[in-house]
Amino acid sequence: MFDYLDKSKIPLLAETDLLVVGAGSAGCCAALAARETGTERVMLVERYGFLGGTSTQMLDTFYGFFTPGARPLKVAGGIPDRVVDRLDAAGAVFLRPNTYGAGTGVNYNPERLKLVWDEMLAAAGVRVLLHATLVDVDMTGGRLSGVVIATKRGFFRIAAQRFVDASGDADVCHLAGIPYEKAGDLEPAQTLTTTFRMSNVDLATYESSGGKKLLMARMAEAVERGTHALPRKAGSLHRMNAAGCISTVAVRVAEVDATDFEQLTAAEMEGRRQAFAYEAFFRDCVPGFAESNIVGLSHQIGVRETRRVFGEYRLTRDDCLRVARFDDTVLLCGAPIEDHRDAKDGGEETVWAYVPNSDAYDVPYRTLVPRGRDEIWVVGRCFSATHDAHASCRSMAQTMSMGQAAGVAAALSLHDSGGAREVGIRALQDRLRALGAVLAPPTSPAHTAADAWRANR
């Protein structure tokens, strides 16, 4: 892609069977699933110094395990369950309802999750490279054959037989010339959010004074009266896995192309400015927060969408809302479409559309296969979906499940010496079920998410 790099001079670091780029929730699960399905050599490349991507750098709640509503279904399983089990064994998990009724979330300690990812990948025998950024690709006869990574020791090449693009931004596909739609090309791109955590919050006082209802009223007042420079009238907070601590999704930065480092620089700074405006607002206006302060900002501003690759199939809004069924389903999703918008024109800030009857639609395997390609899969934030379908199918239970499906598919394709489009769907689904993946909605709903969790294990 970059012809100013003379790749013949770059040393070869390694040859591998499967190379996964990006160690977010999707990439980690892809690497784990491929090893578990028998792939000998699996490498995972990550630009930051820890695993987990968005799951550890800014969030603390897995959504998408359960459908919303009074009778929740548990619609994700397998490796994602094991991640939660590990967190649970360390006492670092609790279930909590979503602020907007979008289903029960699995709240965890994100710092513990960094260790859990480390331990799971090490135990599985995945070769992990941290502080290694993908900067270019090698193409041989029109086929992706390797990548170039930049490290403090210089540039290195890694050759691989198969690839999973789990970079969130579809960096591998972009460099390999694989077509995609960019967020913002058609519909406005979803807004960006710096999450922040506050300590020393008196949660009992907050709840007894009105909790969420009071918070919303005070936010609206602050915006209308102009007392605090908040970007919007809404925003959520929830208690964390540590006493007296809360985490927020409140900051909103709009109209950013997050693949452009200059726009991203401005967005990072604006996100921090807004976070501290919120801190002042909380301290001044919300009961229970007088002595609180920010103790952590997200490692980087949260990016909801950038590039969405064109796959063998593109999941659509209609698929989500008509509860589509596909023969090649590899995961389920019951999460609502949740579109975070810029409300500067007075429109709605977050637009919701729920899957009917608290059901879950199928996500076909073909959404993970870039159109016409056989050596690469695309998972997580950059899988093949329209803006609206992506706004539903991006919760972490689903991104982990996508990784799981692609990892198994890659292993089968290596084993059979076939391409991504030739993977036998029956065999893939059998392997996924054997891992514990949920490929059909449970027939009897549970009374609570906790019951659903137990019933489906």
Q: What does the binding site for ligand FAD look like in residue numbers (CB under 6 A)? A: 21-27, 45-48, 53-55, 59, 61-64, 133-134, 166-169, 171, 193, 195, 249, 302-304, 380-381, 394-396, 399
Closest contact distance (angstroms) between CB of 158 and ligand FAD is 12
Contact residues for 363 (Cβ-Cβ < 8 A; gap 6+) = 315, 326, 329, 330, 331, 332, 333, 393, 398, 401, 402
Q: Are 152 and 139 spatial neighbours (Cβ–Cβ below 8 Å)?
A: no
Which tokens is 10 given?
């770059």
Question: Around Cβ 417, how many Cβ atoms within 10 Å?
Answer: 8
Query: How distant is the alpha carbon of residue 25 from its chain centre?
Result: 6
- The CB-of-415 to ligand FAD minimum distance in angstroms stands at 25
Residue number, 299 or 366, with CB nearest to ligand FAD: 299
CB of 302 closer than 8 Å to CB of 268: no
Min dist. Cβ of residue 416 to ligand FAD (A): 27
Q: Which is nearer to ligand FAD, 68 or 302 (CB)?
A: 302
Q: How far is the CB of 450 from ligand FAD (least distance, A)?
A: 18
Spatial separation of the C-alpha atoms in residues 195 and 237, rounded to whole Å: 10
φ, ψ dihedrals at 307, nearest 5°: -95, 135
Quick one: 136 or 285, whose CB is closer to ligand FAD?
Answer: 136
In angstroms, give the least distance from the CB of 303 to ligand FAD. Answer: 6
Nearer to ligand FAD (CB atom), residue 195 or residue 429: 195
Q: Are 368 and 381 in contact (CB under 8 A)?
A: no
Whole-number minimum distance, CB 62 to ligand FAD, in Å? 5
> Which is nearer to ligand FAD, 37 or 98 (by Cβ)?
98
Phi, psi of 392, deg, nearest 5 = -95, -45
* Closest to 97 in 3D by CA, of 76, 79, 70: 70
CB of 53 to ligand FAD, least distance (A): 3
Q: Which is nearer to ligand FAD, 267 or 321 (CB)?
A: 267
* Least distance CB 334 / ligand FAD (angstroms): 13
| H or E element in which residue 237 lies | strand 236-239
Assigned token pair, 278: 């919120």
Helices (H) and strands (E) in the chain, counts: 13, 20
Minimum distance from residue 447 beta carbon to ligand FAD (Å): 23
Q: Per-residue DSSP letters for 19-58? A: EEE--BHHHHHHHHHHHHTT-S-EEEE-SSSSSBTHHHHT
Shortest distance (Å) from residue 167 CB to ligand FAD: 4
Report the residue number, 235 or 364, with the smaller CB distance to ligand FAD: 235
- With respect to ligand FAD, which residue has the nearer C-beta, 259 or 448? 259
CB 313 within 8 A of CB 372: no
Query: How far does the chain reach from its first CA to its final CA, in angstroms?
Result: 46
Signed CA dihedral, 381, 34, 413, 333: sign only = negative
By C-beta, is 232 or 381 nearer to ligand FAD? Answer: 381
The one-character DSSP state at 244 is: T
Our CB check for ligand FAD shows the closer of 201 and 385 to be: 385
